[in-house]
């Protein structure tokens, strides 16, 4: 699959004009909501783990030296905490561009802290996209992040802000925190 997914996402899960949609964020969408939203709530999705396995040549790296950003990997029994935003469908023009580097929209059940649930959309970069880098030891991921920089800034900023955002949710993500620890050793 091509890395640029804008047109694919415009055809996936057609959105009804004027009907708000929940969007789940598990990476930069937790700490960088650069779009208008109607509501924002902590949420989680089940059966998925956050991993720094997606390449970023458009935001946190370059085509010659891609950075690493998170995607979701299916994992039985896992629970990924993040932030859910209730948004107007017109916001997806911006989001599809922002998440264009291999991410596709998927429907998922969202679980809120008060026990309520809703269906929502989530962007996931699957292993068949051209920018997918896959698994690597956390120390190697940290080294790649330490030396990567793109139009949106240093890759390390993304990692450090994500780790802080996860802590602010009261969550513990060993994968992210191990990479953060190794990154701080490099710096």
Question: Among all residues, which ones are annotated catalytic?
Answer: 99
Pick from 32, 6, 31: which is nearest to 94 by CA?
6
Helical ranges in 90-173 per DSSP H? 92-98, 138-147, 155-168
CA-CA-CA-CA dihedral for 177, 45, 154, 125, to nearest 10: 120
How far apart CA 19 and CA 87 sit, in angstroms, is 9
Instruction: Please say whether the beta carbons of 131 and 57 come within 8 A.
Output: yes
Specify the residue for token string 């990154």.
Answer: 183
Instruction: Please say whether the beta carbons of 133 and 54 come within 8 A.
Output: yes
Token couple for 151: 């139009």
How far apart CA 118 and CA 120 sit, in angstroms, is 6
Instruction: Please say whether the beta carbons of 150 and 67 come within 8 A.
Output: yes
């Amino acid at each position: 699959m091509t890395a640029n997914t804008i047109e694919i996402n415009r055809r996936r899960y057609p959105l009804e004009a004027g009907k708000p949609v929940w969007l789940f964020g598990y990476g930069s969408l937790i700490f960088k909501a650069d779009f208008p939203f109607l509501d924002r709530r902590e949420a989680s999705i089940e059966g998925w783990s956050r991993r720094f396995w997606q390449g970023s040549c458009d935001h946190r790296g370059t085509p010659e030296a891609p950075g690493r950003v998170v995607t979701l990997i299916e994992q039985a029994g896992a629970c990924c905490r993040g932030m859910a935003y209730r948004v107007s469908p017109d916001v997806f023009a911006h989001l599809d561009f922002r998440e264009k580097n291999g991410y596709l929209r998927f429907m998922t059940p969202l679980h809120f802290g008060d026990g309520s649930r809703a269906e929502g959309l989530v962007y996931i970069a699957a292993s068949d996209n051209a920018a997918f880098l896959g698994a690597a030891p956390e120390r190697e991921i940290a080294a790649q992040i330490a030396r990567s920089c793109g139009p949106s800034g240093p890759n390390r900023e993304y990692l450090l802000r994500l780790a802080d955002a996860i802590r602010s949710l009261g969550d513990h993500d060993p994968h992210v925190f191990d990479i953060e620890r190794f990154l701080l050793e490099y710096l």
